[in-house]
Amino acid sequence: MSTPEVSLPTDIRITFGMIVLNGEPFLRYNLRGLYPYAHEIIVVEGAAPGACNIADPQGHSRDGTLAILRRFKEEEDPEDKLIIVTAEDEGYPDGFWPGEKDEQSRAYAKRASGNYLWQVDVDEFYRSEDIETVIALLHGEADITAVSFRQITFWGGFDYTAEGWYLRRGAATYHRLFQWGPGFDYVSHRPPTVHDDRARDLRQLRWFDDRAMAARGIYLYHYSLLLPKQVEEKCDYYQNAEWAQRVGALAWAQQVFGELRRPFRVHNMYRYPSWLERYRGDHPQQILQMRSDIVDGRLPVELRRSDDIERLLNSIWYPAARFFVKQASVVDLAVYHLLCGMRKYRFLHRPLSALRRLVRRWAF
């Protein structure tokens, strides 16, 4: 499949960096969406130790992701933009990456030859016109050092989104785009942090945050909770990864994502109240193509049933209850910011934390 030609300013050279394990069915669509705007796309494939349950014995994807990458390289990369990196390329013969994503992120960062580094997960998409707006922004304001985006989380289908307290506390903000050059350092994956050649955090310099991008109508479209296979694998990883240790994640995948038993714990950070909403906005072009391929049978993918979601959203009680849970989130957010601003006053931590727990239980 050919990709459209796009005229780009010569001073903007974007290296897209992606970590992927079991990237189907998103991978080829994501690459096609990025390709016209890329100076290069560096994809780091393979598993960290916490993902051993969802990898093959050699540390690679179980769904053919590596073969699909190589086929894309052969068939859809006329400008030689795609670079594929595995753990073996970095001297790890068992195929597994050490650590938890920092090493993988640094593997693409150290190979980057562009003057901007744009981190992308395989289930994160952007509208083409939004990428073009970002490029024009970088071209017009060369002192911008970092850009963050507000995500829209899709849940169980293309027509539904999840929102909640955890996301409203700041987790919906994704740090994704950074200046890049000689001497720059990819410091950490959680949260994504890049320092310049003077060891300065780029988000402490000229940072365009998610509010600035949302004001321009630019979002990150995150299809992270779309498909049963995808959600089960994510939850297996979160339950077993040492950094997360999210006990009960697989039970949540079955009982909430699969059966919708707790409709105010729909986000996979299930300690916090969350809810479903109907989505009526646009989708990125490549997601529309993927959706069409699924509907027409060209892409065999198991979708989640939607009849239970429709019944919930069309009920009288759920929108009414959702209103009150949203209002309670205002209290939670106020207390959260108060706690953050009063960390030095330790005697206030216990009563304020108790208030947050009380509000959270009330909004169950």
For the chain, domain boundaries: 1-314, 316-364
Give me the pLDDT at residue 39, please.
98
Q: Percent of the chain having pLDDT more than 90? A: 82
Residue 243 is predicted with a pLDDT of 72
332 CB neighbour count, 10 Å cutoff:
22
Count of other CB atoms within 10 angstroms of residue 120: 23
Q: What is the pLDDT of residue 322?
A: 97
The pLDDT value recorded for residue 296 is 97
**Are the CB atoms for 226 and 301 separated by under 8 Å?**
no
In the chain, which stretches have pLDDT less than 50? none
pLDDT at 361: 58
pLDDT digits (tens, 9 = 90+) for 155-170: 999 999 999 999 999 9
pTM over 0.85: yes
In this prediction, residue 339 carries a pLDDT of 61
pLDDT of residue 125: 99
Angle between helices 317-341 and 307-314 in degrees, nearest 10 = 90
Closest-CA residue to 177 (of 104, 114, 234): 114
pLDDT value for 246: 79
Residue-level pLDDT at 84:
99
Give dist(CA 164, CA 214) in Å, integer. 18
Residue 53 structure tokens: 């349950």
